Amino acid sequence: MGNADEMLTVARSRSAELAAPRLSPKPRRKVAILSCMDTRIDLFPMLGLERGDAHIIRNAGGLVTDDAIRSLSVSQRLLGTEEVVVVMHEGCGLLGASEDEFAKALAADGVLPTWRLGAFTDIEATLRHSLERLRESRELPAKGEVRGLIFDPESGSLRELA
């Protein structure tokens, strides 16, 4: 049995628990969180969230890409969020990765994507750049509360970018 089959079986057995008939698509806490997709990041217990509290947007690196801005724009303009929290982390797979090697590997498979890997060498500088991009984004009307956090999966500590 593949993973998707196993997941469907579990979901079918838990449908009553998974149903959210009276839960609004608008986050109760009016916050959207952009985070890395790393499996070690469990945002709900880390940030004290419950289902319905926040929009969660995840991608490789927790980077502010065009698609992340699209999702955040929908979150703010259509669904009422007013704050954005970006969560990056120590030991990210993009930290120290090679844009050139990744591009060569894709090209060897005949793939020429319109996007970049997003590799970086300095997590704090990258997070600062991401926060600045959000604050300058004309697509986002609510920019007063844009914060950046860095998680350390080894220690479990979370700190705000100074």
Supply the CATH number for residue 146's domain.
Answer: 3.40.1050.10
Beta bridge partners, 35, equal 58, 87
Structural domains in the chain (count)? 1
Is 2 a domain residue?
Answer: no
Name the residue range of residue 132's domain: 24-160
The answer to whether 80 and 54 have CB atoms below 8 angstroms apart is no
Q: Can you say whether the dihedral through the CA atoms of 86, 61, 72, 25 is positive or negative?
A: negative
Please state, in angstroms and rounded to a whole number, the distance separating the CA atoms of residues 146 and 82. Answer: 9
**Model confidence over 89-134: pLDDT tens digits?**
999 999 999 999 999 999 999 999 999 999 999 999 999 999 999 9
Please state, in angstroms and rounded to a whole number, the distance separating the CA atoms of residues 134 and 146. Answer: 7
The confidence band for 39, taking pLDDT boundaries of 50, 70 and 90, is: very high
How long is the chain?
Answer: 162
Is 10 a domain residue?
Answer: no
Please state, in angstroms and rounded to a whole number, the distance separating the CA atoms of residues 44 and 153. Answer: 15
Residue 75 has pLDDT above 90, yes or no: yes
